[in-house]
Amino acid sequence: MQTVVAIDGREALARRIEQSIDRGYRLARAILADDREAEDALQDACLTAWRRADSLRDPDRFQPWFDRILINGCRDRLRGRQRQRVRTIALQTAWRAGGEGLAADPASRDVELDDAFDRLDPDHRIVVLLRYWQDLTVEDIAERLGLPSGTVKSRLHYALKTMRTTLEAPRG
């Protein structure tokens, strides 16, 4: 059985993996929120892509194929992580202007958004990142994750709902 990658050659695969390193690192860093872990996840994804080259049927679909390998590795790392939530102690006495809505101070808003994002489970975090950070369509996300479009839409809906609830909750 001859595969497309065998025709394309190992050198071509190595070039495509190398071209994906910067983009892949940024994606892994955004998902994992840790530089070292992102480097490890990217290295694992490159190795997996090299070892599973025969599963790439269409060289034109390399990027979604590689992204899927990387995202699955990041998801596994998030699930296996014993997460300890650390709360940032604000120097301000009031987080919110008038006690409602997002903080008026942009730095405080960023902290609040980060906190809301950190509260998402790995599956929801990944679809939010792919949709709003990588600006992928629902169909592209579904392809990369191997999910139906409806599942991606549902995860986006519930992720945004969870973030909204977290952001609107009174701070104590």
- How many folded domains does the chain comprise? 2
Check whether residue 144 and residue 168 sit in a common domain.
Answer: yes
Amino acid at 151: T
Helix (H) and strand (E) counts for the chain? 9, 0
Check whether residue 1 and residue 77 sit in a common domain.
Answer: yes
Check whether residue 105 and residue 171 sit in a common domain.
Answer: yes
For the chain, the straight-line distance linking the first and the last C-alpha, in angstroms and rounded, comes to 63
Q: Which domain holds residue 13?
A: 1-83
Relative orientation angle of helices 10-19 and 35-51, to the nearest 10 degrees: 160
Check whether residue 60 and residue 6 sit in a common domain.
Answer: yes
Name the residue among 14, 166, 144, 158 with its Cα closest to residue 75. 144
Which CATH number goes with the domain that contains 78?
1.10.1740
Q: Which residues of 59-68 are buried (b: 16+ CB within 10 A; e: fewer)?
A: eeebebbbbb
Check whether residue 61 and residue 11 sit in a common domain.
Answer: yes
Check whether residue 124 and residue 149 sit in a common domain.
Answer: yes
Check whether residue 75 and residue 115 sit in a common domain.
Answer: no
What is the SS3 assignment for 88? coil
* Domain end marker among 63, 83, 103: 83
Alpha-carbon distance of 93 to 172, in angstroms, equals 11
* Residue pair 141/152 in contact by the 8 Å Cβ criterion: yes
Check whether residue 134 and residue 63 sit in a common domain.
Answer: no
CA 46 to chain centre: 17
Tens of pLDDT along the chain (172 residues) come to 444 444 357 888 999 999 999 999 999 999 998 899 999 999 999 999 999 999 988 888 999 999 999 999 999 898 876 444 443 333 333 344 444 455 556 777 778 888 888 888 889 999 999 998 889 999 999 999 999 999 999 999 999 999 999 888 876 5
Check whether residue 63 and residue 112 sit in a common domain.
Answer: no
Give the Cα-Cα-Cα angle 125, 29, 108 (nearest 5 degrees): 70
User: Structure pTM?
Assistant: 0.69
CA atoms within 13 A on the CB side of 48: 16
Check whether residue 100 and residue 149 sit in a common domain.
Answer: yes
Which CATH number goes with the domain that contains 106?
1.10.10.10
